[in-house]
Structure 1
Amino acid sequence: MANRKVLLLYAGYGDGHLQVSRALREGLRDRGIDSVLVDLIALSHPCLDAFCRRFYRSSYTWFPHVYGWMYGATNRLSPEHALLNRLNSLGRSALRALVDREKPDLIVNTFPMPALPVNAGIPVCTVLTDFTAHSRWLSKQADVYYVATEDLAKELHSKGVPAERTRVSGIPTLERFRRPVGCDRIHARFGLSARKKTLLVMAGAAGIPAEWEQMSDGVLASPELQTVFVCGHNRPLRLKLEAAYRHAAQVRVFGYVEDISMLMAVSFALVTKAGGVTLSEALTANLPAILFRPVPGQERANAHYLASKGAAMIAMNGSELSHHILRLLRDEPLQRHMRDSIARLRQPRSAETVAADIAEHLASGRWTGKAVEASSPLLAQT
């Protein structure tokens, strides 16, 4: 008998949704389940997708509050609102064609896909990739939601999702984040000293704050510290930092790093934006995070949630960022407290948990593709 097949849908707004899909593919493959990864918006509406990607990147620098306003406004809209009805039609024809061609046994969303439902009898699962739930994630067509925390499961329940349709799995991460190679090999590969503590700064598409230039000299001058900048695909930023720190032996600058888990494994702290997947990877790697000026919307919600649990700190300006870095560098009780907090949140086998649950339900046939009736008007109208 042919292997079961899962259609994994993601979107390319940031790298996180793709990484979650890859982690799920890894877990499913270990259970003999085939998977097909598809960026549905890019496939069905390439011009719209390109515009949205540019808007997503620009929002961090030029108009974060506009993004935050749009996030909040759409979160409050009724599911029957004309705007959401229009959004909910995007990609539907492409998805129907995909289903006809691939004939999957299950559809898994790692992004709030608007095109469902497409075909009665195919079960649908949703893997939330943040520590909060925008209403666009919710659909009465979903058989089950995989969520990061018990708190998020309660949030979904308060919005009308029956408790039996939620699973607390964590946000799926690749296995390598919990099984890094030896530290000596990592230090050698990236030209780092084993005698210094490593600060990992994820700059990427969002760049780095202008305040960094004013406060970085004091931080970088710390003799016990070495700093690694990862610029992702932001080539202008990489060239700028390489020029600025070409004589600084304690600074390393890289572009895109495929195996960022290696750098996480040897770092004492991570400076980053508050994307849910990056934060989940940091939790899996036992790495405290300093979240710089989180953007209004899901990232601010992520930041406040992890900070409230003691697993991250928020810096709203360069002075706070410098203070947090130096304090975490030298304050061992704070380091222990944050790692203890991380231990209470981390789900290092999240991808395995989701994959195992999917395999069990596909084998048993308990998912019929006919969603359970919603218990609130919010879901009943979707």
Structure 2
Amino acid sequence: MGKRLLILTAGMGAGHDAVAAELARRMARQDVETNVLDVLDLIPIGLGHGLRRMYGGMVRSAPWLYEGIYRAFFVSRRPPPASPLTALIASRLDARIRELPPDAVVSTFHVAAQAAGRLRDAGRLTVPSIVLVTDFAVHRMWLHAGNDRFLCPDERSARTVMERTGRPATRHAPVVGPAFRRRRGAGGALRDAAGARPGDRIVLVSAGAWGVGRVVETARRVAASGRYLPVVLCGRNERLRERVHGPALGWRDDMPALMAGAYALIDNAAGLTCREAFACGLPVISYRPIPGHGRDGAEAMARAGLSRYARTPGELVEALDGLRDDAARRAGVRRTAALFDAVPAERVIRAALG
């Protein structure tokens, strides 16, 4: 009988779901039966959908409130508290697991990691539980010591996880779609979508799947330099797209082709879009990141030499100008390309499946 893998995610933005979907695709190629479950769907009477809307509303309209919650509950060296929400999700996850027992569980979202770790710690989950950390800055909500193993974005975060959980933690290659590793062409798709001229240096300004952050002002600053053409990626936020004075794109399924034509990516979330840019060899500049994990992730990427973190409009333009130095640009691309030399996540998971 073939092996069965349960992948836990949460629809908070698009990044966790995309990682889960790509991981499922890779495992299916190894003849592993995969099931992907959004843990927010385990919360009854639509409360999971309400949590999703509340989080999106805070990040969009009251970032100061999310910052306060993040600092109070996510950033601490103490173990995370046992919450009623985690207990509820764990209870309903236990029932799901008993209906269709997996041979291993992988969590790609921190609440999922808490629930799976809780079940594993209590002996209710009897198969390996692996946490695939999708944040560059690992906060304590990822760190339930009931889990067997952690896959981290770099060596620094892996050391932190081992120190705080006592569990094995190693870095893994970013889980991005294969199309991002095959950057080809002259970028005509982006040039056509933006209505750009042949000599324009096009800078992608990412607002994530939900279209959040002060990206309208960011695009205005970039355009004011007179040296770059900003194209705002608005995700599914059509209102944001209407507010942008210049090229703006909605949700796209051809991001590898768009990135192939870009000069740089300006990002505000330090999430999957950055990893996709790294795979394409596209330099990343963090600017005005969203609060909480976005800001901490931007700082972590900059410390690792993977990106620049511009804190002022002047630093933003200076960072863009610096990428015109071919030697510096190539050195940055080599650093980010090295991320993909790490062990693939699916190899570790396959070994856990036995």
The AA in structure 2 aligned to 1:31 is Q
AA matched with 1:147: C
State whether structure 2 residue 151 is matched by structure 1 residue 146. Answer: yes
Separation (CA, whole Å) in 1 of partners of 2:322 and 2:345: 34
Question: Match for 1:338 among 322, 325, 332?
Answer: 332
* Partner residue, 2:249: 254
SS state of the match for residue 22, structure 1? helix
Structure 1 runs of 4+ aligned residues shifted over 6 Å read: none
Structure 2: distance between partners of 1:9 and 1:290:
30
Is the CA contact (8 Å cut-off) linking 1:129 and 1:276 kept in structure 2? yes
Name which one, 1 or 2, has greater alpha-carbon Rg. Answer: 1
Q: Which position in structure 1 is the counterpart of 2:177?
A: 174
**Residue in structure 1 matching 2:224, options 218, 241, 244:** 218
Amino acid at match of 2:20: S
| 1:341-352 equivalences in 2 (<5 Å) | 341-344=335-338, 346-347=339-340
- The residue that corresponds to 1:105 in the other structure is 103
1:227 alignment partner, SS class: strand
Per the TM alignment, residue 235 of structure 1 is displaced from its structure 2 partner at its CA by 0.6
2:352 to 361, 365, 369: 361
Counterpart of 2:243, as a letter, is K
What is the CA–CA distance in structure 2 between the aligned matches of 1:183 and 1:264, rounded to whole Å? 10
Distance 2:268 2:206 in 1: 8
Structure 1 pair 215/103, CA: closer, same or farther in 2 (3 Å)? Answer: same
Q: How big is the alpha-carbon RMSD for the aligned residues of Structure 1 and Structure 2?
A: 2.6
Q: Which residue of 1 aligns with 2:63?
A: 64
Q: How does 1:10-159 map to 2 (within 5 A)?
A: 10-45=9-44, 47-74=46-73, 75-76=75-76, 78-79=78-79, 81=81, 84-112=82-110, 113=112, 114-116=114-116, 117-118=118-119, 119-159=124-164
The one of the two structures with greater contact order (alpha-carbon pairs below 8 A, sep at least 6) is 1
- What residue identity is the alignment partner of 2:182? R
- Structure 2 SS opposite 1:139: coil
2:309 is aligned with what amino acid? I
User: Which of 194, 201, 212 pairs up with 1:197?
Assistant: 201
| 1:265-304 equivalent positions in 2, closer than 5 A | 265-304=260-299
The 3-state SS of whatever aligns with 2:301 is: helix
Contact 1:59/1:66 (CA < 8 Å) preserved in 2?
yes
> Structure 1 residues 63, 182: CA separation in 2 closer, same or farther (over 3 Å shift)?
same
Would the aligned equivalents of 1:12 and 1:39 in 2 still touch at CA under 8 Å? yes
Tell me the distance in 1 between the aligned counterparts of 2:10 and 2:90: 15
Q: How far apart are 1:141 and its partner, in Å?
A: 2.2
| Structure 2, unpaired ranges of 5+ | none
CA contact (8 A) 1:230 1:255 kept: yes
**Residues 232, 46 of structure 1: alpha-carbon distance in 2 compared, 3 angstrom cutoff:** farther
Distance across 2 between alignment mates of 1:167 and 1:56: 30
Decide whether the 8 Å contact of 2:222 with 2:229 is kept in 1: no
Contact in 2 for aligned 1:109/1:125 (Cα 8 Å): yes
Secondary structure of 1:99's counterpart equals helix
Task: Provide the C-alpha distance between the structure 2 equivalents of 1:57 and 1:306, rounded to a whole number of angstroms.
Answer: 24
If the length of structure 2 is used for normalisation, what is the TM-score? 0.86
Q: CA 1:253–1:189 in 2, change beyond 3 Å: closer, same or farther?
A: same
With over 3 angstroms needed to count, the CA separation of the structure-2 counterparts of 1:362 and 1:80, relative to structure 1, is: closer
Count of matched residue pairs: 343
1:305–1:99 distance in 2 versus 1, CA, 3 Å: same
Shift of 1:154: 0.9
SS at match of 1:141: coil
Greater shift, 104-113 or 118-127, is seen at: 118-127
**Range with greater deviation from structure 2 (194-203 or 126-135):** 194-203
- Residue 272 of structure 1: CA displacement? 1.3
Residue 121 of structure 1 aligns to a residue whose secondary structure is coil
1:7 and 2:6 are equivalent in the alignment: yes
